[in-house]
Amino acid sequence: MTTLSDRPQQTAVAPAPVPLGSPWPASATTGRDGGEPRLGGVALREAADRFGTPLYVLDEDEVRRRARAYRRALPHADVLYAAKAFLCTAMADWIAEEGLGLDVCSAGELRLAVAAGFPPERILLHGNAKSPEELRLARRLRVGRIVVDNLAEIPRLAALTVADTPQRVLVRVLPGVAAGHHRAVRTGVDGQKFGFSIAAGEAAEAVRRILAQPDLRLAGLHCHLGSQITDTGPYLAALDRLVELLALIRDRHGVELPELDLGGGHGVRYLPGDPELDPAAFAAAITAHLAARCAELGLAEPKLTVEPGRAIAAPAAVAVYRVLSVKHTADGRSFAAVDGGMSDNPRPALYGSAYTVRALGRPDTAPTRPFDVVGCHCEAGDVLARDAPLPADLRPGDLLAVPAAGAYQLSMASTYNHVGRPAVAAVRDGRLRLLIRRETVDDFRAREVGR
């Protein structure tokens, strides 16, 4: 067996880890000619034949390996998996078993997690527009922490709280740091829907109001800078402003807050050679900087919280599609149309996101040509990947695999054109099992109640 990589590998008897720089899970291997990728000991073609396509294949060991990497890197911090990246009952189980908490941002995510048996005291709820019903649900289930994102939430939450069960809350602040791969996901700057501006004094006012509520317990500050951040610089800049705010709160109110949540947004590889935020390097830089800044200002060092989602889920899944048609145009372009598209992966259409694409069952040495891999939906912008190097003789019926597919694809999926959302299968130790069945027209019809 040889490792799955974008450069030739030496043949070997047993699978080996994917080389640094690859977007594939660590368990991914291929046959001697590089043509039949396996994940967790299971051939992707076998998974597609068994469960159909489009199919998302999730490597359980990769999820657990990445969760453990964060626990090792930050043994004294709270590590919360960001459920918005991708959540199902199995994922909730794996995250709980690996000792992580859970960050949810809706009643749906909260209900699914608790129904799966996730301990509510290890759950944090945030969101810029939590409804009164969501706040009541969070209080009834006794979630560990709630992030306050607007002034209206303060009296609403206080009215739901009684003295014998005070609610721990964090204040989401805007440190004025721009970070993230696209302007739509840069959530740490002023002038947007999230949080309270530090510079404008909004954060200080939110803190004052919460401290005035006897049944709310202000535990700390929360921020989230953006998504797909691949260096520690923005986090260090945010820390400077957050620690300064902690010192201001101490000086004004005589209170030292015990927690500091830096959110998530940790970047991963989508293309070979892409940068990726390393948990160990991130942890070393952040903890050292926090200790130094707190010492300068005479503050007790707060407990850190981080919220990786994409960094745990994205590299653990591979999407598998079947080619429906191949078209070569007069201007020299080639298109491979597949049986999925923007309904199961809206990221290329929303953010111009790039992906690696590989043809299954073809040797690495096969001649290639650039293809635009496009979806089956009625949109010209339904493009999954541009100029992907695929076999020159690609034909209908071939299978294509797209790694780094575990985050913000199925969680953002739609039913555009009444195309059902794909199935999700898990692999571990050579075993393949279905986690989520494919959505069908019968599911659509079951929601209709009249005509």
Q: Say if CB 197 and CB 174 are below 8 A apart.
A: yes
With a CB cutoff of 8 Å and minimum separation 6, the contacts of 298 are 247
- Count of Cβ atoms closer than 10 Å to residue 365 Cβ: 10
Q: Taking Cα atoms as reference points, which of 235, 334, 238 lies closest to residue 283?
A: 235
376: tokens are 């089956």
The Cα–Cα gap between 106 and 22 comes to: 33
d(C-alpha 98, C-alpha 93), whole Å: 9
Closest listed residue to residue 234, CA positions, set 261, 265, 273? 265
DSSP state of 346: -
Q: Check 105, 223, 294, 378 and give the catalytic one.
A: 378
Pairing of strands 303-306, 383-391: unpaired
**Rounded CA gap, 175 and 149, in Å?**
14
CB-count exposure of residue 341 (10 Å: 0-12, 13-18, 19+): buried
Integer angstrom CA distances of residue 167 from 175, 218, 265, 283, 313: 25, 8, 26, 29, 30
Distances, alpha carbon 441 to alpha carbons 315, 379, 413, in Å: 30, 21, 16
State how far the alpha carbon of 78 is from the alpha carbons of 113, 115, 220, 308, in Å. Answer: 18, 22, 13, 11
Q: Does 376 participate in catalysis according to the annotation?
A: no
Closest C-alpha to 255, from 292, 299, 222, 308: 299
Q: Are 174 and 198 in contact (CB under 8 A)?
A: yes
Residues carrying an active site annotation: 378
